[in-house]
Structure 1
Amino acid sequence: MEPLTLLALAGVGLAAGFVDAIAGGGGMLSVPALLSAGLPPVAALATNKMQSIIGTTMAATTYWRKGMVSLRALVPAILLTMAGSLFGALTVKHIDTSALNVAVPIALIAIAGYFMFAPRLTDADRAARLSFPIYVPIVGMVVGFYDGLFGPGTGSFLTLAFVALFGLGVTRAAGNTKVLNLASNFGALLLFIPSGDVVWQVAIVMAIGQIAGGYLGALTGIRFGARLIRPLVVIVSIAMALRLLLVH
């Protein structure tokens, strides 16, 4: 691949990592860029998982270091999210996922509506509707399975769950989302890497951009909190819904 193309992909990695660290949806930028660079669909998806895991690691680590995440509380959810994602990646080869092209955009628009109109969505924690230790691992496994199976909107679904079901403030919800996103990406890569689907030259170049983007995005999300994360989740969710509807 030509040096200018690789440089452009590094820039895409930076932008995708920045957006993804705040509200998810970085794949909206990176996957089309990889396809435009000539990668086959499966290779594009696998390479995207590989490069995005670097930015997600940086973002998750930054949220954790700033006290937004309790890793000990998330250990069971991390393991089940990883298992769900691996199972989803294995399952996708054996079922028809075309129905998700309609169902997922509807769900994403509903998430956008919730974050747009729900009152008192701030950085303050509220009373949880469900037990964190019991139900976060279940949610992680279900969303991880979806991520391995289909993918778009995973961050939005997790952020909604942490806010609406488990009472976290918006910024803490974003931090916890990044940790489970990391587990989900890793679970899918357990299948993609041995299958030889990752284009390593591209993944490494984009990962360099992801390091900067993930770090800067996490710091920005922490700095501005719900004032930035809330509207960006709305924008990203609607953009993903429209992209899915228009592409398919």
Structure 2
Amino acid sequence: MFELPLDLVVMLIGAAFAAGVVDSIAGGGGLITVPALLLAGVPPVQSLATNKIQGTFGAATAAISYAASGHVVLRKQLLAAVIGFLGGLAGALLVSRIPTDKIEIALPFILVAIAAFFALRPGLDDTDRVQRIRPGLFTAAFVPVIGFYDGLIGPGTGSFFMIGFVTLAGYGVLKATAHTKLLNFSSNIGGLTGFLLVGSPLWVLGIAMGLAQIAGARLGSRLAMRVGARLIKPLLVTTSTLLAAKLLWDLM
């Protein structure tokens, strides 16, 4: 059984709290927790599986917080959540059978493009805009693709859901953030279910980090609802850029 000294466990719990704050606002919490787990010496597959456990706590907390404040009606997202779960499950089950090298090379540039979109597009705020595709088509075509990506690779899933809700569904930034969380939660659960078949997560550590994620997500969602796009946009730009930089570094 893999064991960690107490000081590393405390460090990982602190990283999970910070990830919960960031992820509930702009996504990208895995940018903090996955490197922290790897630096602590947890093997890669076990790190990904453990990260899925703790990430589900934060995503669920953020989804509930936004719903309780009236920014999203979760029952209207149930079908999309089921599809996101199936996509995440399929991605995790096929992770060893699908070559992901080309996706991993393109991913940093896609994340930079997302960061540039939110940084440079004028007038991007909490106001809803023109809906470019119908909700049914969005759920049937866009959600399973991003869910599958979450199970297969993972980094940037929240950013991809965000860009879809803003550009295709026409949501304002805060509304898009609120609607992202349940889908992120469901694809995370799907990915975790798949990882349980190929890896053994550190359950105690994952749950401990998950409790810290709950505290961080509560704080982050409150900040996002209070400040809105003025906080979400710059944090989304920052996390997308840092994630792109990390992925480029890993490829070198």
Amino acid at match of 1:10: I
Structure 1: gaps spanning 5 or more residues? none
The corresponding residue for 1:74 is 77
Identify which range, 168-177 or 119-128, moves more after superposition: 119-128
Give the structure-1-normalised TM-score.
0.97
Q: Partners of 1:39 and 1:58 in 2: how far apart?
A: 26
Deviations 1:146-202 (A, max 9, x none): 111111111111001101110111011001111100010000111223545210121
Which of 87, 90, 93 is equivalent to 2:96? 93
Amino acid at match of 1:70: V
Q: How does 1:166-181 map to 2 (within 5 A)?
A: 166-181=169-184
Deviations 1:23-53 (A, max 9, x none): 0111111001111111110000000000111
Deviations 1:110-159 (A, max 9, x none): 11111011122111111211111332342110000011111111111100
Structure 2: gaps spanning 5 or more residues? none
CA 1:137–1:222: 2 relative to 1, 3 Å: farther
Give the structure-2-normalised TM-score.
0.95
Which of 63, 67, 76 is equivalent to 1:64? 67
The corresponding residue for 1:188 is 191
Is residue 237 of structure 1 aligned with residue 240 of structure 2? yes
CA contact (8 A) 1:9 1:33 kept: yes
Q: Partners of 2:38 and 2:241 in 1: how far apart?
A: 22
Amino acid at match of 1:2: P
| Sequence identity percentage | 45
Deviations 1:187-242 (A, max 9, x none): 01112235452101211221121110011111111111000101111111111111
Q: Partners of 1:245 and 1:227 in 2: how far apart?
A: 28
Q: Partners of 2:44 and 2:225 in 1: how far apart?
A: 34
Is residue 206 of structure 1 aligned with residue 209 of structure 2? yes
Is residue 48 of structure 1 aligned with residue 56 of structure 2? no
Amino acid at match of 1:36: L
Q: Partners of 2:24 and 2:168 in 1: how far apart?
A: 21
For the residue of structure 2 that corresponds to 1:138, the secondary structure is helix
Deviations 1:83-132 (A, max 9, x none): 11111111111122111222111111111111011122111111211111
Q: Partners of 1:16 and 1:168 in 2: how far apart?
A: 24
Q: Partners of 1:81 and 1:204 in 2: how far apart?
A: 22
For the residue of structure 2 that corresponds to 1:99, the secondary structure is helix
Is residue 124 of structure 1 aligned with residue 127 of structure 2? yes
CA RMSD of aligned residues (A): 1.2
User: Where in structure 1 do 4 or more consecutive aligned residues deviate above 3 Å?
Assistant: none
